[in-house]
A and B are shown apart, each in its own frame.
Chain A
Amino acid sequence: MASISPTIAETPAQEVDWTARLRLILSYAILFLLAFTFLYPFLLTVTTSLKTLPEINENPVALIPETWTLEGYLAMQNLNVGRWMFNSAFVALAITVGNVLFASMAGYALARIPFPGGNLLFLTILGTMMIPGIVLLIPMFIILKQVNFIDTYMGLIFPKVTTAFGVFLMKQFFESIPKDLEEAARIDGANRLQMFFRVILPIARPALIALIIFTFQGAWNDFMFPLIVISVRQELYTLPLGLAVLRGGLGESLQWNAILAGSLVTTLPMAVIFIFFQRYFLEGISYTGLKG
């Protein structure tokens, strides 16, 4: 955690010449400007969710509401939001744990173990990402029905417990790890499993954190897949699914404040988790240096 500020302290001040300083100032200017454009729409979402409907219609891009209201949030009061949030968290967590384990194992095998069929396997896995998911919905439903996964947590979790994205991500990361580490372990008589858990995984920390963030987020925001898994048991809805009900029919009076409030409720837990993991993420540099 202590990686950043000490780095600055360690650098002798006199070595920072003026070009470097200028570059730094320029960097800050760009970064803050960009940060603003990236955060502004989000801020707008927050404040718009607190406006009244007529006011939103009046001026949709004004940042500060004239009258503050919780109208948009009250639309959710009769919905089972707590339960849906639990479902989302539980499902996303289970999927993330599964991916950390299985996707990194598969990624490792594809990146590091020269086994017959590996390359073909990799291309196949990569290929599965290239079919538009929309065309797989009905086949997926048929299979889920065959294995009695419709309307169950298992149905929400199991098919996603390893994602092609996760395997691909981890494979690419493992490829950039120097090989000599494993050679050393091998000479010490470690087998593949030991090598993987004792040598590789610890080094892959930044990659794993990235995997955790992406997988969790992907599972959390997923819409189409839960849509077909959950058929009648609405108490098993995930948050995006549940709140989509709120959006109702298009073309009629769009309750912007309620829609945005709903999407915020969906988003905020993700944001908290991301900010939390930031800290682990930042440690990366010092850890990679340590080499196990």
Chain B
Amino acid sequence: MASGIKGQDREDAVAGWLFMTPALIVFIVFLIIPIIFALYFSLTDWNGISPPAEANWVGLDNYQTVLLEGGIRQSDFFKALKNTTYFAIGVVPLQTILSLLLAVIINQRLLRYKEFFRTAYYFPSITSSVAISLIFLFLYQRSGLVNNALEFLTFGAWEPVAWMSDARGLFHIILEALGVTLRDGPEFLRGELLGLTVWDWISGPSVALMAIMIMNTWTTIGTMMIIFVAALQDIPGSVYEAAQVDGATAWPTFRRITVPLLRPTIFFVVTLGLIGTYQVFDQIYVMSSGGPAKTTLTMAYMVYRNGFRNSEMGLGAAIAILLFVIIFVLTLIQRRITGSEAEQ
């Protein structure tokens, strides 16, 4: 950003910080300071009940406990990391692509009833997550709507499953269908890595976790779509007219013109997706409490469980900080990839 005269630079610096001031005051007092607190807690053995000043300094012990020390807390941590990562890998691409497609479809000039569609798709986002979770518990029952629909669509071939209590992993199901089981599979499957067996690592999301993933995608598509629609509307119509003159058809127009122009928005949606999925909590809290067989134990839920159920707020804070680091690194990577900072 090389811009001309020195006076301009100074003026920009002042203006920049002035524009930021109101936001900064709020952020520093109500976000940065609490985060520094949390960082400090993660270095103590604080139980989350007594006044925090009474906690003992333990250095990096909490981090060591979850990362290096064998035992239930390590294996739980990596289980949560595994579950959360499967969750993110499944949900983020799915919701980004689906919502972008929906936005493009809905943004077609010739389409009518836009208001209706937009409202309809946004409805799940409006409804409170607690209510949605409760309704989905109904729908996911063994004789619930989801199984009924699947049975209907597959002409009865579908075997009803009790979605929320099925701990089988997706890849395990596939592997077992191919005849590979833990018992007679190759030896390395039984090897242990960071508290979990290799077989556990490659489980894939459990049926219960997938049920929550589907629900999560369903509820966020509307929001993401709204963001994309807003961004699409920012693209001047003249850009498309030019493409039409050049004779470009729908797909190339989308790929060469729409997507590059949407870069900042895609970065935004994917980052939000990463943050949202890596911090998934509400649905777990209401629907599964981490079960069955800890296959829906997510990192954010583990923070809660340690901090507010197990008197280990220090450990919970350490997990929260690790979660922060993971999301941050992923965000930086994907900032590179989407190239959101590239100047036009």
* A interface bracket (residues with beta carbon within 8 Å of B): 35 or more
Please tell me which stretch of A66-74, A139-147, A230-238 contacts chain B, meaning at least 4 of its Cβ atoms lie within 8 angstroms of it. Answer: A139-147
CA distance A38 to B317 in the complex (A): 37
B residues within 8 A CB of A132?
A: 279, 281, 299-300, 303-304, 320, 323
CA distance A110 to B108 in the complex (A): 32
- Are A114 and B12 in contact, CB atoms less than 8 angstroms apart? yes
Q: Closest B-chain residue to A106, C-beta based?
A: B23
CA distance A259 to B132 in the complex (A): 11
CA distance A165 to B26 in the complex (A): 13
| Residue in B48, B226, B304 with the greatest tally of chain A CB atoms within 10 Å | B226
A245 interface residue per 8 A CB criterion: no
A39 interface residue per 8 A CB criterion: yes
Q: Closest B-chain residue to A24, C-beta based?
A: B110
- Are B268 and A41 in contact, CB atoms less than 8 angstroms apart? no
Please tell me which stretch of B89-97, B117-125, B158-166, B191-199 contacts chain A, meaning at least 4 of its Cβ atoms lie within 8 angstroms of it. Answer: B117-125
CA distance A108 to B305 in the complex (A): 39
B295 interface residue per 8 A CB criterion: no
B254 interface residue per 8 A CB criterion: no
A193-227 contact mask (Cβ, 8 Å, vs B): 1 or 0 = 10010000000001101100110010001000000
* B interface bracket (residues with beta carbon within 8 Å of A): 35 or more
B327 interface residue per 8 A CB criterion: yes
A residues within 8 A CB of B26?
A: 102, 158-162
CA distance A215 to B122 in the complex (A): 15
CA distance A147 to B28 in the complex (A): 14
- Are B275 and A176 in contact, CB atoms less than 8 angstroms apart? no
Give B1-57 interface residues, CB cut-off 8 Å to A: 1, 3, 9, 11-13, 15-17, 19-20, 22-24, 26-27, 29-35, 37-38, 41, 48, 52
Q: How far is the CB of B292 from chain A (nearest CB, A)?
A: 17
Q: Given A162-B26, A172-B264, are A267 and B126 also a contact pair (CB < 8 Å)? A: yes
- Are A128 and B119 in contact, CB atoms less than 8 angstroms apart? no
- Are A177 and B234 in contact, CB atoms less than 8 angstroms apart? yes
- Are A38 and B131 in contact, CB atoms less than 8 angstroms apart? no
Q: Given A4-B114, A41-B135, A172-B267, are A288 and B236 also a contact pair (CB < 8 Å)? A: yes
Q: Closest B-chain residue to A159, C-beta based?
A: B30
Q: Given A126-B271, A267-B126, are A176 and B35 also a contact pair (CB < 8 Å)? A: no
Pick the contact of A173: B16, B29, B230 (CB < 8 A): B230
CA distance A134 to B324 in the complex (A): 13
Q: How far is the CB of A280 from chain B (nearest CB, A)?
A: 11
Q: How far is the CB of A172 from chain B (nearest CB, A)?
A: 4
Q: Closest B-chain residue to A208, C-beta based?
A: B230
Q: How far is the CB of B249 from chain A (nearest CB, A)?
A: 9
B residues within 8 A CB of A266?
A: 128, 131
B residues within 8 A CB of A16?
A: 110
Q: How far is the CB of B152 from chain A (nearest CB, A)?
A: 13
CA distance A116 to B14 in the complex (A): 10
B171 interface residue per 8 A CB criterion: no
Q: How far is the CB of B5 from chain A (nearest CB, A)?
A: 12
A residues within 8 A CB of B184?
A: none
- Are B230 and A206 in contact, CB atoms less than 8 angstroms apart? yes
- Subset of 14 A-B contacts with CB under 8 Å: A27-B111, A30-B105, A38-B218, A41-B132, A106-B19, A110-B20, A113-B12, A168-B271, A172-B264, A240-B128, A274-B119, A281-B229, A285-B237, A288-B236
- In the complex, given contacts A42-B124, A162-B27, what are 20 additional A-B residue pairs having Cβ atoms less than 8 angstroms apart? A28-B111, A45-B135, A61-B139, A102-B22, A106-B23, A109-B15, A113-B15, A113-B16, A126-B331, A128-B35, A134-B304, A135-B38, A135-B303, A140-B34, A147-B29, A206-B229, A221-B128, A259-B131, A263-B128, A275-B119
Measured CB to CB, the residues of A under 8 A from B are: 4-5, 7-8, 11, 16, 20, 23-24, 27-28, 30-31, 34-35, 37-39, 41-42, 44-45, 48, 60-61, 101-103, 105-106, 108-110, 113-116, 118, 121, 124-136, 138-140, 142-143, 147, 158-162, 164-165, 167-169, 172-173, 175-179, 191-193, 196, 206-207, 209-210, 213-214, 217, 221, 240, 247, 256, 259-260, 263-264, 266-267, 270-271, 274-275, 278-279, 281-282, 284-285, 288-289
